[in-house]
Amino acid sequence: MEPDDFDAMDDFERELRDAMQRRTAPAGLKKKILLRRAEGPKRRFQGPWIFQWEPATAVLAAMILVVVAAAAGFGEIFLMHQTQERRRGEEAKQQVFVALRITHHALEQMNAQLEERNRNSK
C-alpha cells in the first residue's frame, strides 16, 4: 500500500485479508446472550425509581444530597446570624441616638441656666 493509496491491495494485503476471515462465534454464545437478556429485568429491584439506580450512583446521589443539605443548613445559620447582628446594630444605634438626645437636652438646660444667671448678675 503506497501512501494515500488505499484502494489497491498488494499480494500481502490480499493474503492478510484471506487470513483474517471472521471466526465462527462459540456455539453457545447466542444462547448465553438470550439467557442473560431474559435474566436482566429479574435481577433488578422493582421498587421506586431511586432504588433502581446502581449502588455507586445511589451513593453519589446521597453524597450530593448531604452536601446540598449541609450547604443549605450553613446558609440558613449564616443568614440568621446576619439578621441578629443587624438587629443588635440597630438597637445600639437607637441607644446612641437616645443618649445624644439626653445629652443635647442637658446641655440646653445648662445653657439656659447660665444665660439666666448672667442676666441676674447684670
Partner 1 sequence: MASDDGKPNFEQLVDEHQSMVFSLAVRMTGDRGLAEEIAQDVFLALDKNLRKIESPLHARNWLRRVTMSRAADALRRRRVRGIDLWVEIDEAHVAQGERRSSPLGARVERLLATLPEAQRSALILRYQEDLTPEEIAATLDAPLATVKSHLQRGLKLLRAKAAIQLKEYVRGA
Total residues binding partner 1 (CB under 8 A): 30
Per CB under 8 A, the segment of 11-19, 48-56, 73-81, 106-114 that binds partner 1 is 11-19
Q: Which is nearer to partner 1, 22 or 119 (CB)?
A: 22
Q: Which amino acid is at 112?
A: A
Q: How far is the CB of 62 from partner 1 (least distance, A)?
A: 25
Q: Which is nearer to partner 1, 26 or 48 (CB)?
A: 26
What x-and-dash track marks residues 89-108 binding partner 1 by CB under 8 A?
Answer: --------------------
Q: Which residue has the cell 445653657?
A: 111
Site for partner 1 in 13-72 (CB under 8 A): 13-27, 29-30, 32-34, 36-37, 40
Q: How many CB atoms sit inside 10 A of residue 9's CB?
A: 13
What would the grid cell of residue 25 be? 462465534
For 24, 42, 44, 98, the CA distances from 48, given in Å and listed in that order, are: 43, 15, 12, 63
Whether residue 13 contacts residue 1, with contact meaning beta carbons closer than 8 Å, is answered with: yes
Q: Give the burial class of 50: count Cβ atoms within 10 A of its Cβ; 0-12 exposed, 13-18 middle, 19 or more buried.
A: exposed
Q: How far is the CB of 9 from partner 1 (least distance, A)?
A: 9
Under the rule (CB under 8 A), what is the footprint of partner 1?
1, 3-4, 6, 10-27, 29-30, 32-34, 36-37, 40
